[in-house]
Amino acid sequence: MGFNMYKQIDNIKDDLKNRNQTSNIPYQQFLLSLKLLFGMKDKTAKRWLSEFEMVGFISISDDGKINFV
């Protein structure tokens, strides 16, 4: 089953919030959340992360910390 990635952003936020990650989220923690929520492989999770940054849902700092915009 495929997911519309843009409709899943709230689920991702909720999962990260449950893990006490609301801001300055470590890159690996964000990837882990995607993998566990959707059963993704590493390559797919990284692609979603890249897409989220490209459309402006998240920002990734130089030190690898992720924040929702």
Quick check: pTM over 0.95?
no
In 3-state terms, what secondary structure has residue 22? coil
Burial call 5-18: b when 16+ CB within 10 Å, e when fewer:
beebeeebeebbee
Q: What is the CATH number of domain 5-68?
A: 1.10.10
Per-residue pLDDT of 2-59, as tens digits, reads 668 889 999 999 999 999 999 999 999 999 999 999 999 999 999 999 999 999 999 9
Per-residue pLDDT of 47-69, as tens digits, reads 999 999 999 999 999 999 999 99
